[in-house]
Amino acid sequence: MIAIYKRELYSFFTTPIGYVYIAMFWAVSSFAFCVTTLLAGLDSNMGSYFTYELIIIALMTPLLTMRSFADERRLKTEQLLLTAPVSLPGFVGAKFLASYTMFAGTFLISCINLPIMFSYLSDYYLYHYNVVTAMGSCIALLLVGAAFISIGLLISSLTENQMVAAIGTLTASAALLGASLANNYIGFAPLRAVLRWISIYARFTGFSNGYFDVASLIYYISFALVCLFITVRVYEKRRWA
Say which residue, 40 or 166, is predicted with more confidence. Answer: 166
Positive/negative CA dihedral, 149, 155, 157, 159: negative
What number of helices (H) and strands (E) belong to the chain?
Answer: 13, 0
Q: Name the amino acid, one letter, at 103.
A: F
- Rounded Cα gap, residues 212 and 208, in angstroms: 9
Confidence of residue 178 (pLDDT cuts 50, 70, 90): confident
- Rounded Cα gap, residues 181 and 86, in angstroms: 42
Q: Which of 159, 143, 13, 189 is nearest to 78 (CA)?
A: 159
Give the list of residues 6+ apart from residue 177 with CB closer than 8 angstroms, or none. Answer: 54, 55, 58, 199, 200, 201
Return the pLDDT at 184: 65
- Rounded Cα gap, residues 15 and 194, in angstroms: 41
Q: Name the amino acid, one letter, at 112.
A: I
Q: What is the largest CA-CA distance in the chain?
A: 64
The pLDDT tens digits for 17-42 are 999 999 999 999 988 888 877 665 54
**Least confident among 8-22, 75-89, 114-128, 188-202:** 114-128
